Amino acid sequence: MLIAIPDLLDAAQLAEVRGLIDAADWIDGNATSGAQSALAKHNTQLPEDSEAARRAGNLVLDALAASPLFVAASLPHKIYPPLFNRYGPGDTFGAHVDTAVRIRRGSDFRVRTDLSATLFLADPDSYDGGALVIEGQFGEQRVKLPAGHMILYPASSVHRVEPVTKGQRVASFFWIQSMVRDTEARATLFELDTAVQALAADRGMADPEIVRLTGVYHNLLRRWAEA
């Protein structure tokens, strides 16, 4: 399931993040690659332990915590600290699958990568190419969103970034360990949650049937969650 999170960052937040990362020093993107990814990856990246990455990452984490759509879609248990990458002309990232468990270098912090996230930080008209292509059961999905928008997708999917031919594609990327490991169970909870919220907007949260459906949601979450 692919879920777009529109306007995760507003204009002011986006400008603050770009101000931090644009002024920083960038390194080879393979600094955090696994063996398979290193063969396909050609881009640059902020060092994950840099001050700019830490400060910009905290801004992204604050925005995630304030997004009901993100919380409902991912049911986050752990979030890997956001990383930042940049693709210039000729840069690309070939087909790959994300590592199942990400361990933050120099620490015991680790995340099971249930979901991958890409937060676009450059206007799509400012660069050519650079679409995120995600393979799924219904074929390939090409994603190139406005700056400040984010896409959530299964970390188990084969995906790639098409070559950039002009301009610079700038993004934040990270992984989420969900409280609900099973993809289908998580999708069911998301559909139920969004349906309940839509009905509640019409009837009100105190409506007896809304109360019952809310109970069904939480009982399923209680059954499936690992917290």
Cite the beta strand spans of 88-207 per DSSP E.
92-96, 101-103, 110-112, 115-120, 127-129, 132-136, 139-143, 150-154, 159-161, 164-167, 169-178
Residue ranges at the known binding site for 2-oxoglutarate: 169
Is the pLDDT assigned to residue 37 strictly greater than 60? Answer: no
Mean pLDDT calculated for residue range 99-122: 95
Per-residue pLDDT of 162-201, as tens digits, reads 999 999 999 999 999 999 999 999 999 999 999 999 999 9
Per-residue pLDDT band for 30 (boundaries 50, 70, 90) equals confident
Residue ranges at the known binding site for Fe cation: 96, 98, 159
Per-residue pLDDT band for 31 (boundaries 50, 70, 90) equals low
Residues 6+ apart with CB under 8 A from 63: 8, 9, 13
* Cβ neighbours, 10 Å, residue 219: 10
Is the pLDDT assigned to residue 143 strictly greater than 60? Answer: yes
Per-residue pLDDT band for 33 (boundaries 50, 70, 90) equals low
State pTM to two decimals: 0.93
Residue ranges at the known binding site: 96, 98, 159, 169
Structure token pair of residue 109: 């912090």
CA–chain centroid gap for 117, Å, is 2
> What does the mean pLDDT of the chain come to?
94
State how beta strands 164-167 and 76-79 pair.
unpaired
Is the pLDDT assigned to residue 136 strictly greater than 70? Answer: yes
Mean pLDDT calculated for residue range 133-150: 94
Domains in the chain with CATH codes: 3-178 (2.60.120.620), 183-224 (4.10.860)
Per-residue pLDDT band for 34 (boundaries 50, 70, 90) equals low
Angle between helices 51-65 and 11-22 (to 10 degrees): 160
